Structure 1
Amino acid sequence: MASGERFDTRAVEEYSDWEQGDVVTPIHLSSTYRMPGIDPEMSLEDVDPDAGEFLYGRLSNPTRHAVEKQLADLENGEMGFAFASGTAAIATAIFAVVEEGDHIIAFDDLYAGTRRMLEQLFEARLGFDVTFVDAREPAHVAEAITDDTSLLWMETPTNPMIHLCDIGAISQIAAENDAILGVDNTFATPYFQKPLELGADVVAHSTTKYMNGHSDGVGGALVTDDPHMAESIEFNQQVGLGNQMPPFDAYLLSRGLKTMGVRMRQHQENTMELAQYLDDHDCVTDVYYPGLESHPQSELASEQMDGYSGVLSFELTGDIEAAQRFLNTIETMNLAVSLGGVETLVNHPATMTHEPLGEKRRAELGITDSLLRISVGIEDIRDLKDDFERGFQALETATTP
């Protein structure tokens, strides 16, 4: 590894001294590795990937190991782990902490897949007690604490309402109650937010999103400074769950990480300009983006983040039919789930990502039929605005007598 200390430099560094002098992490596809001989004294724990020792692909892989070092470094953490998906990473983090009879507190405005996992797997099937709170107020988290609380699971900013929680304040609550704080940092990325430095115990990512950045690889990651938690995560990843990231996706992730700083700056520049444009438009009633002074948590965002990233949500004037007219008209943007790619993606949460929550739960969270979430890409902002104008023109035409 080179001696660079700043984010963009560290992002392009190689984390292994490849024998052939590769400047790009090679894809190691071997499922098993030749052993020099048998050693009655050796255990699996003795195999050291840092020393170039590998035994079996589920346990470790050179491509995956290199990107795990890269992930840890960019989050300013000690130990990183790469998984087959973001959901796999979050599930592994939870399994690494909770024991029978434990209580979990989670932000109520989580990504729908995470919330369903907590409700349908950990609560309904495995019997854990799960409480969802509006964590915008740390006091709500403190009030929900019980003697059995072992894990606080936060996401900030949240999906899709772009709510924030005070990581530092909630980390103090966790520490005072011997609980672990996990933070999903997918929206902010380590470029704009460092939860470990703010007191979190473990950070999670869907690397499918900004870290990969090109919508061509699925994955997840965990980073922690806690050696005991790292040991439990590693056991669950390699032995208990076997949900590690495949070599090719690890290669794609490594490639994406190298340009993350450049991409995140352009994502934010485009998103800020688009948020201001939407905030002044007659066809829009509300814009949710922490870079706007109108966002109720803009002060917190400026305190714990170094930027506001590339996702915003907004409310169209009208109902589901207005949303349909708008979405049927766009040309440059893509109607699709996911986020964080170089291309702009438009999501209608009520019928797409958050449809499984049901109408009642969506209403409780403020997810209306007219809410759209935009993952703003790196295209020319003028073309994106032109696309919005096409959509808004369709709305205005429909309401003209």
Structure 2
Amino acid sequence: MDQERRDVLAQAELDTRAVRAGQVRTHEGEHAEPIFATSSYVFANAAEAAARFSGDQPGNVYSRYTNPTVRTFEERIAALEGAEQGVATSSGMAAILTTCMALLKAGDHLICSRSVFGTTTVMLTKYLAKFGVETSFVSPTRLEEWQAAVRPNTQMLFLETPSNPLAEIADIAAIAEVAHSCDSLLVVDNCFCTPALQQPLALGADIVVHSATKYLDGQGRCVGGAVVGRAEQMSEVLGFVRSAGPTMSAFNAWVFLKGLETLRLRMEAHSASALTLAKWLREQAGVEQVFYAGLPDHPGHALAVKQQRAFGGVLSFRVKGDRDAAWRFIDATRLMSITANLGDAKTTIVHPATTTHGRLSEEDRKAAGITDNLIRVAVGLEAVDDLKADLSRGLAAV
């Protein structure tokens, strides 16, 4: 992309950047982004090959870490998040692992919200710990716990907000101050909001990670991830991708590019339907409690209004009863998909305690509020009245 177009896009609104950022046309003059389905690239001569491999000359080297389609996606998600640089990965978990492996070392300490995706917790405690990185878990909403957990060797703070699945809202700006007071990095998983609804870097975070599998795609087609932030840190992140190979494919990058073009429109629609369903669920006799930050009495509502543009498409609720009651509810639905994925055009329903958070100990699930009667719904783009009817089927079975 020529510099003049880059300058125009830098001043453009989010919708325009979601459609145009990173786009580079080849000599064919194509309008849609092409898929560069190649593993390697041909050099004009040996000297050019040497210059490309050493980094002295810009250009493609090998698709494990340089591919034009992937680069377009990286530039676009970075533009949407207001970051200097983006790095694509093979999955959302690969994005988190890559960030930790690139920026932490043996002897370092990490502070993590206890309300994160269950696999994130497993990765930190079972695998990253093998390399000498210790993790402390704290409440996402109690700032004093973040402050008290800081040690001389603390190098990173990690959170997701809204949290999965209870929609707890962490104060990004306040936790960023804690991180920076001890010369640490704040990493925020922005999967549930996406840059269409929340921009953590503008609130003080240093790095944002994504499971592109979710809302960035929007139709449940591909698995992928992304890390965005300052060029200084992203150089290390890209270095890990180059060496270890958790690489996004060109085809998946192309699919995500198409998803980004409709991101804001979808996120607004998901949010509107989720809010309607959350309000409706609160009125149902078989529902014990609803968790959605769009509800005015949610503990994090005021903060969500401050740092988000809307409240997202994921809600959860506790039915009256035990695990069997929750399972009967889920099994009685006929429209919703029983799957752990989210961010899809199709509404999904799942039992967190035995799926997304099933590998956690009972003690850890209890600490995170993952009870046996909790159900998570990721609201899709179907008609709201049809979704209400399906939830009514579930309620009738409890």
TM-score bracket for this pair, using the shorter chain length: over 0.9
Is the contact made by 1:350 and 1:368 (CA closer than 8 Å) also made in structure 2? yes
Query: What per-residue deviation string (whole Å, max 9, x for no partner) do you get for residues 210-245 of structure 1?
Result: 0011101000000102x2211111101112x21110
User: What displacement does 1:262 show?
Assistant: 1.1
Equivalent of 2:119 in 94, 113, 135:
113
Is the contact made by 1:84 and 1:219 (CA closer than 8 Å) also made in structure 2? yes
Aligned residues: 388
Give the TM-score taking structure 1 as reference length.
Answer: 0.94
Specify the code of the residue in structure 1 equivalent to 2:74. E
State the distance in 2 between where 1:44 and 1:29 align. 24
Partner of residue 87, structure 1: 93
Specify the code of the residue in structure 1 equivalent to 2:163. T
State the distance in 1 between where 2:30 and 2:297 align. 48
Give the TM-score taking structure 2 as reference length.
Answer: 0.95
Partner of residue 399, structure 1: none
Query: What per-residue deviation string (whole Å, max 9, x for no partner) do you get for residues 242-297 of structure 1?
Result: 11101111111111111111111110010000000011111111111110012111
User: What displacement does 1:361 show?
Assistant: 1.8
Give SS of 1:39's match: helix
Query: What per-residue deviation string (whole Å, max 9, x for no partner) do you get for residues 33-82 of structure 1?
Result: 1100121872531242xxxx212111200110111111101111110111
Equivalent of 2:290 in 287, 291, 306:
287
User: What displacement does 1:355 show?
Assistant: 0.8
Specify the code of the residue in structure 2 equivalent to 1:346. I
Equivalent of 1:162 in 167, 183, 196:
167
State the distance in 1 between where 2:181 and 2:357 align. 34
Specify the code of the residue in structure 2 equivalent to 1:83. T
Partner of residue 222, structure 2: 217
RMSD between aligned residues: 1.3
State the distance in 2 between where 1:35 and 1:143 align. 55
Q: Which moved more, 1:107-116 or 1:34-43?
A: 34-43
State the distance in 1 between where 2:245 and 2:327 align. 41
Query: Within 5 Å, which residues of 2 pair with 1:202-241?
Result: 202-225=207-230, 227-239=231-243, 241=244
2:277 pairs with 1:274? yes
State the distance in 2 between where 1:16 and 1:344 align. 31
Equivalent of 1:33 in 30, 38, 41:
41
Query: Within 5 Å, which residues of 2 pair with 1:1-400?
Result: 3=8, 5-13=12-20, 15-19=22-26, 20-39=28-47, 42=51, 43-48=53-58, 53-123=59-129, 125-225=130-230, 227-239=231-243, 241-395=244-398
User: What displacement does 1:23 show?
Assistant: 1.9
State the distance in 2 between where 1:378 and 1:168 align. 32
Gaps of 5+ in 1: 396-401
Give SS of 1:356's match: coil
State the distance in 2 between where 1:266 and 1:192 align. 12
* 4+ aligned runs moved over 3 Å, structure 1: 1-4
Give SS of 2:158's match: strand
Give SS of 1:383's match: helix
Partner of residue 398, structure 1: none
Q: Which moved more, 1:95-104 or 1:178-187?
A: 95-104
User: What displacement does 1:14 show?
Assistant: 5.2
Is the contact made by 1:136 and 1:163 (CA closer than 8 Å) also made in structure 2? yes
Give SS of 1:357's match: coil
Gaps of 5+ in 2: none
Give SS of 2:177's match: helix
Is the contact made by 1:106 and 1:152 (CA closer than 8 Å) also made in structure 2? yes
State the distance in 1 between where 2:46 and 2:327 align. 65
Specify the code of the residue in structure 2 equivalent to 1:238. R
State the distance in 2 between where 1:341 and 1:47 align. 40
Is the contact made by 1:30 and 1:57 (CA closer than 8 Å) also made in structure 2? yes
Is the contact made by 1:347 and 1:374 (CA closer than 8 Å) also made in structure 2? yes
Specify the code of the residue in structure 2 equivalent to 1:358. S
Specify the code of the residue in structure 2 equivalent to 1:163. E
Is the contact made by 2:21 and 2:79 (CA closer than 8 Å) also made in structure 1? no
Is the contact made by 1:47 and 1:54 (CA closer than 8 Å) also made in structure 2? no
Query: What per-residue deviation string (whole Å, max 9, x for no partner) do you get for residues 96-135 of structure 1?
Result: 2212211110001110010000000112x11222100112
State the distance in 2 between where 1:7 and 1:181 align. 24
Is the contact made by 1:27 and 1:63 (CA closer than 8 Å) also made in structure 2? yes
Is the contact made by 1:47 and 1:55 (CA closer than 8 Å) also made in structure 2? no
Specify the code of the residue in structure 1 equivalent to 2:14. F
